């Protein structure tokens, strides 16, 4: 009886902390996105681009790289922290949304899940957004 009561109280506490609000879900999703910064390299690319434009091209490849690497490590650490602590408040973001270089805004992957005209044989979107430097889009009318 005592084991069943302990088990039920743990289940009730877990249900109370993880259900009923969107805060934990948003915090976990934000943490996973920030943790993937090492693979995405958005901060690194943005820092190199901004430093090259606003300071000098030489500084973009040196100072911008170091600045972007530091920001990527920071974003990855914050992501790991948010993944570990997602059931516990506060749920407000520590960092802003993921960043991309100013010359590129990603779209949806060209896939039948997102494309509405696949039955006709026409679809659009990014062809390979997961490849760094890919800017090729199919049927981009914007």
> From first to last of its 142 residues, what are the pLDDT tens digits of the chain?
667 778 778 776 666 666 556 788 888 888 998 999 888 888 888 888 888 888 888 888 899 999 999 999 999 999 999 999 988 888 778 887 777 766 666 665 655 555 555 555 555 556 666 676 666 665 555 4
CB contact at 8 A, 64 and 52: yes
pTM of the entire predicted model = 0.58
**Residue reference for tokens 């300071």:** 55
In angstroms, what CA-CA distances link 82 with 24, 73, 78, 95? 10, 14, 6, 11
User: Would you list the domain boundaries of the chain?
Assistant: 19-93, 107-142
């Amino acid at each position: 009886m005592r084991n069943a009561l302990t088990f039920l109280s743990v289940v009730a506490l877990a249900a109370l902390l993880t259900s009923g609000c969107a805060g934990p879900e948003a915090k976990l999703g934000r943490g996973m996105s920030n943790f993937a910064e090492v693979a995405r390299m958005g901060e690194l690319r943005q820092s190199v681009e901004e430093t090259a434009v606003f300071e000098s091209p030489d500084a973009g490849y040196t100072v911008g790289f170091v600045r972007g690497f530091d920001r990527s490590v920071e974003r990855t650490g914050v992501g790991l922290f948010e993944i570990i602590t997602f059931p516990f408040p506060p749920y407000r973001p520590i960092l802003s949304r993921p960043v991309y270089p100013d010359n590129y805004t990603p779209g949806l992957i060209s896939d039948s899940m997102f494309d509405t005209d696949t039955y006709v044989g026409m679809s659009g979107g990014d062809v390979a957004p997961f490849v760094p430097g890919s800017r090729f889009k199919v049927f981009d009318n914007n």
